[in-house]
Structure 1
Amino acid sequence: MEEKKIDVKEVWDNAYKESMREELGWYESVPEPSLSLIKKYVPSRYKEVLDAGCGESTLLQSLIDNGFKELAGMDLSSEAIKFQKENLKYIQGETEISLKVGDLTEKLNFEKKGTLWHDRAVFHFIFEDSLRKNYKENVKKYLEDDGIFILACFSRENEAERCNGLLVNKQDIEDLEKFFEDSFVMIESLKYSYTMPWGDVRKYIYCIFSKKSYNLS
């Protein structure tokens, strides 16, 4: 009997419907090292930052609290986007925030370019080569020349094979550098051990890229 195809959007919608944010296995009260890396690479608080696969993460609120004025969040789950819209606290007119449902593995159009794309644990769910290429094209399309791309994935050293019931395509730094090298230059990498709310440890790698700029004249 053929296995039923998984509806990934339904999987994530159900996760956010059924659990409080603090109960989710990927919850961070303080979103480090992502927050520190974004502050390091985006000194201007008036440059747009996109949290790609934002879920119910605390990152957007942390960026607001640190003075960032132009932010965007995108997620496959409409439940996650609804949560962010209802719970983010900011002053209208002082901070511009765009929150949208979107599939990062489909070819997307963006209203404007931004200076940083942040992804904690979306890319590592993508196995199919064509979808990985679509994801990379979206990053290229969104970022301005010399824009920054921060990518966090399960490391090959990580013991867990799944997250939220979904298989994870674990990576190493060399894998990611090779895949993105046609359009991005790696400028920093680090290993990070994340402790889940109940104490289990998940080993991540963080890779920071700069989008290549091209002089067409």
Structure 2
Amino acid sequence: MEKPETKAEPMEKEASRLHWNATYESKREDGVSWFQDSPEPSLSLINEIAHPGSAIVDVGGGASRLVDNLQEQHFEDVAVLDLSTAAIAAARSRLAEAGEQVDWIVADIRTWSPTRLYDVWHDRAAFHFMVEKADRDAYLFTLRQALAPDGYAIIATFALDGPEKCSGLPVQRYDANSLAQALGPGFAFVRTLDHLHLTPWGSSQSFQFSVFRRAPAM
């Protein structure tokens, strides 16, 4: 299967990288709307479907504290992928020596070529930035290349009543049904839950978290 071409041309991809680097370089860790001191419900969902030896990739993980919590719960095989070198640098600095056990990946999910399979694909709010079909197709191609048969994908997006933009960029909102349609065949729906995220300044954002299981190898 050939990787689909993305709508984003090199200049657009570079603009994305510069945007997110500038965001993380100019704001404090708790100065962005998506900051969570405790990464829920992500952590609980991962604990439902994974064990300490599971290979987990946190897509668009940025400077999220999910990796810290996974390490505290003795998950041994964790990768964090983000487009922003500044975000990855912030997380590595925070974890210090513990960060040496993490596989840090600076890459655009639309063009990343994974070199291994993962048991859990976790994405809190990266997919909803794929507003163009070509970008969604590229993301889903990477998902299929990276997720092991019988592996789980946890994908969180703004819900249908959530914000229309994040960090000044448009997003595509979903519920469980529309997200299942976007993923297409080969992913069995497991469960979904609604989550009201409170930003550091007290406003609320409506999310949906949906879990899918990839079909086993034939």
TM over 0.5, shorter chain: yes
The CA deviation string for residues 35-93 of structure 1, in whole angstroms up to 9 with x for no partner, is 00001110x2011111000111000001001110110000011111111222225558x
Alignment of 1:113-128 (within 5 A): 113-128=117-132
**Helix, strand or coil at the partner of 2:102:** strand
- Aligned pairs, how many? 207
Cross-structure match for 1:134: 138
The CA deviation string for residues 163-197 of structure 1, in whole angstroms up to 9 with x for no partner, is 11111111122111112131211101111110101
Answer yes or no: is 1:52 the counterpart of 2:56: no
The CA deviation string for residues 84-142 of structure 1, in whole angstroms up to 9 with x for no partner, is 222225558xx831101111122x22221110000000000111111101111111111
**Helix, strand or coil at the partner of 1:170:** coil
Q: Distance in 2 between matches of 1:133 and 1:55?
A: 22
Q: Distance in 1 between matches of 2:98 and 2:193?
A: 35
Cross-structure match for 2:68: 61
CA shift at 1:214, angstroms?
3.1
In structure 2, the CA distance between the partners of 1:76 and 1:91, relative to structure 1 (3 Å rule), is closer
1:81 to 81, 88, 100: 88
Alignment of 1:107-186 (within 5 A): 108-158=112-162, 160-186=163-189
Answer yes or no: is 1:30 the counterpart of 2:38: yes
Cross-structure match for 1:214: 217
- Whichever residue aligns with residue 53 of structure 1, its letter is G
In structure 1, the gaps of 5 or more residues are: none
Q: Is the 8 A contact 1:53 1:119 kept in 2?
A: yes
TM-score, normalisation: structure 2: 0.90
Answer yes or no: is 1:105 the counterpart of 2:110: yes
**Helix, strand or coil at the partner of 1:214:** coil
Q: Is the 8 A contact 2:160 2:174 kept in 1?
A: yes
Q: Distance in 2 between matches of 1:89 and 1:78?
A: 16
Cross-structure match for 2:23: 15
Mean alpha-carbon deviation: is it higher for 79-88 or for 12-21?
Answer: 79-88
Q: Distance in 2 between matches of 1:138 and 1:195?
A: 30
- Whichever residue aligns with residue 90 of structure 2, its letter is F
- The RMSD of aligned alpha carbons is 1.7
- Whichever residue aligns with residue 105 of structure 1, its letter is R
**Helix, strand or coil at the partner of 1:175:** helix
TM-score, normalisation: structure 1: 0.90
